[in-house]
Amino acid sequence: LAKTTQPISMDSYEGQEVNITCSHNNIATNDYITWYQQFPSQGPRFIIQGYKTKVTNEVASLFIPADRKSSTLSLPRVSLSDTAVYYCLVGDANTGFQKLVFGTGTRLLVSP
């Protein structure tokens, strides 16, 4: 199982760009990188997923360097409602999500 390491917490202000980096040194060839967002007392919500280079959707961007040993979730112009815990997961979902591990995530606090 690919182990991931993320900062425990981050602070930001409204309107700023936030970048959360996840380290996954032993990522396997078939592994994808997926980020989830979780608000208190709610289930995690899928944000973005990628395999290599850059992926962008309406919510975030995901930057993955060539060696794939890390990835960076970028949230443009955060608002107060982006305060949440963000999880980075690495794995081959084709073999089943039971192999994916949710760590403690990164707790992002956005202030006015």
Partner 1 sequence: DGGITQSPKYLFRKEGQNVTLSCEQNLNHDAMYWYRQDPGQGLRLIYYSQIVNDFQKGDIAEGYSVSREKKESFPLTVTSAQKNPTAFYLCASSEGETQYFGPGTRLLVL
Task: Decide: is 55 part of the binding site for partner 1 (CB under 8 A).
Answer: no
The CA-to-CA distance between both ends of the chain, in Å, stands at 39
Give the span between the Cα atoms of 57 and 11, in whole angstroms: 23
Q: In the set 20, 22, 24, 34, which binds partner 1 (CB under 8 A)?
A: 34
Q: Does 43 bind partner 1 (CB under 8 A)?
A: yes
Which part of the chain contacts partner 1 (CB under 8 A), choosing from 13-21, 53-61, 74-82, 86-94?
Answer: 86-94
**Binding residues for partner 1, per CB under 8 A?**
32, 34, 41-46, 49, 87, 93-94, 96-98, 100-105
